[in-house]
């Protein structure tokens, strides 16, 4: 510890892998947490209900509301006070049954997903020919073309030349084959981006222009560069459907149109915009017995995109925090400091729920002892940084040193680290110069296969990893709560960025509390 403190005083950055050790015998509370978390885990049951029965949790949707009610009911069952705390409104949207079919020149049911907040077809079949956004000279030429899109489904995404992942090419192809394919693909993508730029519209506004011109529907594809996976985000049309087709089926329809083989697509989509709906965070709390005005916060966003079940983004983080709170209530019901859990809404639209909570609760910001956030998939936690707080680093090291090696042996601590600046909810608190720690997990092909994709389902969860993370989080919450000192907040001198310019501490961004604010 003395060496570590000296290193920090000198301004050096320590990357410390933690040595394995046996389960501690000198702290009966850690042993109780271990027994509950590893031997009596409820993670499977919680995850199955959340992802299979409740399913995706799009902000403002009935699924989100049902999920939040379930959270409150679980905490209530465990004797943990919990509430839904409104922070604003958001446009509501209900997804119904949707289906896409190629009906000419042959019959094929297409793999496709109606994008969130898209218009539908009022549940009735809407059939029309397919056209590709043409390559024209400039925006004036496109303005003359838009009327010809009336009554047609318009393809507006790049058609991948292959839906085989690069890993497959690298494993099997001759080097010159992969090089040639990659070069041709890059050139074609650049040409497509140039085509889009010449329309004069952004990706957000082009679908609206086509909708205004009377297009029957918008067809897109955002391949995630793995077998069978697409990124599923939101549509930009309110009266007509915007549907993402799989890489393979989008390519099929595109080639048919490109070769003048007269593709016709039929879409049936039940969807309903519900107007402005209240949106909530779910907050649970175990009151502190000695220092109730100081807080240990467990953090994970609850919302998801709704192209799948939202399993690894972020039911895994949700269940980690839910299970940690269950464990703590059973074995540590009278913590020294107040333990708060935040299940945030609106993370996918810009960390809005957590930012709003930070704005609305200055007492939590000023009294924060530590925050632990998890939001990058099913992998076991392997990276934790001291988020740029030099004086907090020895405490973080001490806590991990007290934990069993079965949990910590693969964890690397980085000191002094850097504050979270965006991407997940600890950034909403780090900008206030708080000890808001991110629990970084193993990848498990997260970004290719599950992050925001149509394959983010229950079966992708690795329960040994989630049990580990929930147990670790409960231990960290206990150790932070029992710590004699309040963690210091002295900031590191930020290093230069890639551009050579001096980096600065991140500035807090105001929460968007309505859909209208987010569009400004």
pLDDT one-digit tens code per residue, 42-97 = 999 999 999 999 999 999 999 999 999 999 999 999 999 999 999 999 999 999 99
H helix runs in 282-378, sequence order = 316-331, 352-360, 362-367
* pLDDT tens column, 331-344: 999 999 999 999 99
**How far is Cα 442 from Cα 312, in angstroms, rounded to an integer?**
12
Residues carrying CATH 3.40.630.10, the chain: 2-91+276-487
Cα 345 to Cα 341: distance, rounded to the nearest angstrom: 13
Model pLDDT, residue 314: 97
State the span(s) of the chain assigned CATH 3.50.30.30: 95-265
Residues in the chain: 520
- Residue-wise pLDDT tens digits, 336-390: 999 999 999 999 999 999 999 999 999 999 999 999 999 999 999 999 999 999 9
295 Ramachandran zone, left/alpha/beta (phi>0; psi -120 to 50): beta
Question: pLDDT at position 8, please?
Answer: 41
Judged by average pLDDT, the poorest of 16-30, 203-217, 297-311, 428-442 is 16-30
Identify the pLDDT of residue 343. 98
CA distance 78 to 73: 9
Task: Answer whether residue 516 shows pLDDT above 90.
Answer: no
- Residue 205's H or E segment, with its range, is none
* 166 has a pLDDT exceeding 50: yes
CA–CA separation, 318 and 374 (whole Å): 8
Angle, helix 62-77 to helix 316-331, in steps of 10 degrees:
20
Question: What pLDDT, in 10s, does the model give residues 138-161?
Answer: 999 999 999 999 999 999 999 999
Q: Quick check: helix, strand or coil at residue 188?
A: helix
How high is the pLDDT of residue 10? Answer: 36
Q: What is the pTM of this model?
A: 0.94
| 259-311 confidence digits (pLDDT tens) | 999 999 999 999 999 999 999 999 999 999 999 999 999 999 999 999 999 99
Q: What tens digit of pLDDT does each residue of 449-466 get?
A: 999 999 999 999 999 999
CATH class of 95-265: alpha beta
Q: Is the pLDDT of residue 3 over 90?
A: no
Question: Which residue from 125, 426, 449 is spatially nearest to 307, judged by alpha carbons?
Answer: 449
Three-state SS for 364-390 is: HHHHEEEEEECCCCCCCEEEEECCCEH
- Fold that domain 2-91+276-487 belongs to in CATH: Aminopeptidase (3.40.630)
Q: What is the pLDDT of residue 2?
A: 46
Is 18 a residue whose pLDDT tops 80?
Answer: no
Angle of CA points 282, 284, 288, to nearest 5°: 150
DSSP helix/strand/coil, 102: strand
Q: Which residue has the tokens 């070069």?
A: 183
C-alpha distance from residue 474 to each of 195, 263, 414, 481 (Å): 52, 56, 21, 11
Asked if the model's pLDDT at residue 185 lies above 50, the reply is: yes
Q: Rounded to an integer, what distance in angstroms lies between the CA atom of residue 300 and that of residue 340? A: 12
Q: Helix and strand tally (H, E) in the chain? A: 17, 15
Chain segment 415-439, per-residue pLDDT in tens: 999 999 889 999 999 999 999 999 9
């Amino acid at each position: 510890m003395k060496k570590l403190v000296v290193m920090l005083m000198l301004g050096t950055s320590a990357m410390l892998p933690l040595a394995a050790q046996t389960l501690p015998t000198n702290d009966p509370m850690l042993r109780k947490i271990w027994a509950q978390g590893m031997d009596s885990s409820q993670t499977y049951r919680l995850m199955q209900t959340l992802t299979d029965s409740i399913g995706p949790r799009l902000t403002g949707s009935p699924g989100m509301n049902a999920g939040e009610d379930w959270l409150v009911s679980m905490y209530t069952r465990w004797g943990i006070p919990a509430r839904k705390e409104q922070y604003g409104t958001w446009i509501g949207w209900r997804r119904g049954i949707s289906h896409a079919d190629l009906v000419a020149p042959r019959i094929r049911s297409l793999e496709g997903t109606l994008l969130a907040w898209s218009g539908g077809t009022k549940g009735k079949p809407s059939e029309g020919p397919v056209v590709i956004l043409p390559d024209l000279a400039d925006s004036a030429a496109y303005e003359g073309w838009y009327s010809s899109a009336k009554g047609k489904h318009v393809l507006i995404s790049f058609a991948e030349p292959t839906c085989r992942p690069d890993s497959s090419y690298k494993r099997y192809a001759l080097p010159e084959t992969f090089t040639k394919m990659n070069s041709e693909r890059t050139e074609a993508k650049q040409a497509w981006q140039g085509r889009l730029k010449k329309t004069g519209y952004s990706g957000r506004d082009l679908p609206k222009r086509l909708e205004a011109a009377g297009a029957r529907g918008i067809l897109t594809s955002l391949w995630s560069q793995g077998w069978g996976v697409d990124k599923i985000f939101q549509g930009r049309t309110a009266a007509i459907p915007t549907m993402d087709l799989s890489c393979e089926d989008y390519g099929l329809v595109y080639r048919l149109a490109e070769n003048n083989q007269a593709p016709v697509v039929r879409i049936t989509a039940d969807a309903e915009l519900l107007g402005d709906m209240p949106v909530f965070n779910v907050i649970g709390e175990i009151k502190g017995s000695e220092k109730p005005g100081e807080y240990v916060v467990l953090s994970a966003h609850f919302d998801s995109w709704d192209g799948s079940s939202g399993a690894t983004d972020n039911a895994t983080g949700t269940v980690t925090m839910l299970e940690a709170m269950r464990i703590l209530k059973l074995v540590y019901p009278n913590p020294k400091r107040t333990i708060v859990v935040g299940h945030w809404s609106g993370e996918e639209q810009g960390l809005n729920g957590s930012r709003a909570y930070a704005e609305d609760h200055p007492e939590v910001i000023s009294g924060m002892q530590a925050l632990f956030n998890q939001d990058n998939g099913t992998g076991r936690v392997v990276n934790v940084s001291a988020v740029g707080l030099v004086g907090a680093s020895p405490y973080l090291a001490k806590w991990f040193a007290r934990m069993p090696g079965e949990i910590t042996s693969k964890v690397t601590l980085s000191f002094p680290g850097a504050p979270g600046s965006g991407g997940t909810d600890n950034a909403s608190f780090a900008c206030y110069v708080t000890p808001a720690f991110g629990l970084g997990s193993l990848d498990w092909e997260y970004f290719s296969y599950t992050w925001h994709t149509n394959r983010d389902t229950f079966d992708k969860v690795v329960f040994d990893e989630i049990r580990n993370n929930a147990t670790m989080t409960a231990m960290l919450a206990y150790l932070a709560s029992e710590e004699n000192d309040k963690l210091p907040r002295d900031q590191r001198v930020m290093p230069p960025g890639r551009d050579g310019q001096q980096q600065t501490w991140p500035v807090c961004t105001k929460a968007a509390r309505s859909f209208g604010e987010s569009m400004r």
